[in-house]
Amino acid sequence: MPQMSPLLWLNLLSMFTLGFFLFSIFNFFIKPPLKILCDSPKLIKPEKSWKW
């Protein structure tokens, strides 16, 4: 069974690392961000009349 030289292991590591980074970057940029639409009215705080 032949053994791989250290240079081939380094090439294999760099190939998988590059593939992982490209996969991560493409997954991050492939979908546009979802815009959160806030159609609900703003909360109105009732005024409190304090009697001292």
Q: How far apart are CA 13 and CA 21, in angstroms?
A: 12
pLDDT tens digit sequence for 3-51: 778 889 999 999 999 999 999 999 988 887 777 776 666 677 778 887 7
- DSSP classification of residue 39: -
pLDDT at position 16 is 98
pLDDT at position 44 is 77
Q: How far apart are CA 26 and CA 21, in angstroms?
A: 9
pLDDT at position 46 is 78
Q: How far apart are CA 6 and CA 4, in angstroms?
A: 6
pLDDT at position 4 is 77
